[in-house]
Amino acid sequence: MRPAILAFLLLLILLAAGCGGSSTDSRADFQDAVNETRNNVDQAMADITDNPSGKQELLQRMDEAATKIDASAEALDRKEAPKGLTDEQTRLVTALRQLAVDLSQTADQIRQPEFGNLLQGTQGLSFESWENANKVLQQLKQQGIEVQPLGRH
């Protein structure tokens, strides 16, 4: 009977050890999440400039991109970064949320009659939040997270 009790206790110890895992995502899982976020944001930005039929469609696409980018930032924010990457995660989420706000506010401003000609002669839009997101992506890459910067569209 004694070997059965020892076997049972050993089994309990092994099970308890297996249940005490970390609540943070692995680096590989986090890398996947960062890449998914980056790809979603990049696609949203690309969709803005993919041959809009006119000003109204461009503004609608900017609003849609803002919504998609904010949702992507929210999804990344729900992930638990591995130890040593939480600051980068926070900064990336913050930059992406600001990019969503920048796009939305720019579209709103262009809709105002007094800014109606804002797009005339414009060859592209540039946002500090986009640059900040790319800085964080570069920092993540330097820390071993394989990720590409956001493209220019």
Which residue, among 81, 64, 65, 69, has the nearest Cα to 28 in the 3D structure?
81
Whether the predicted pLDDT of 7 surpasses 90? no
pLDDT digits (tens, 9 = 90+) for 65-80: 999 999 999 999 999 9
Give the per-residue pLDDT at 114.
79
CB 147, CB 32: distance < 8 Å: no
Give the residue carrying structure tokens 């006119």: 54
Sorted by where each begins, the domain ranges of the chain are 24-117+125-142
Mean pLDDT throughout 19-39?
A: 81
Please tell me the pTM assigned to this model.
0.80
Top-confidence residue, 67 or 20: 67
d(CA 23, CA 79): 10
Q: Residue 7: helix, strand or coil by DSSP?
A: helix
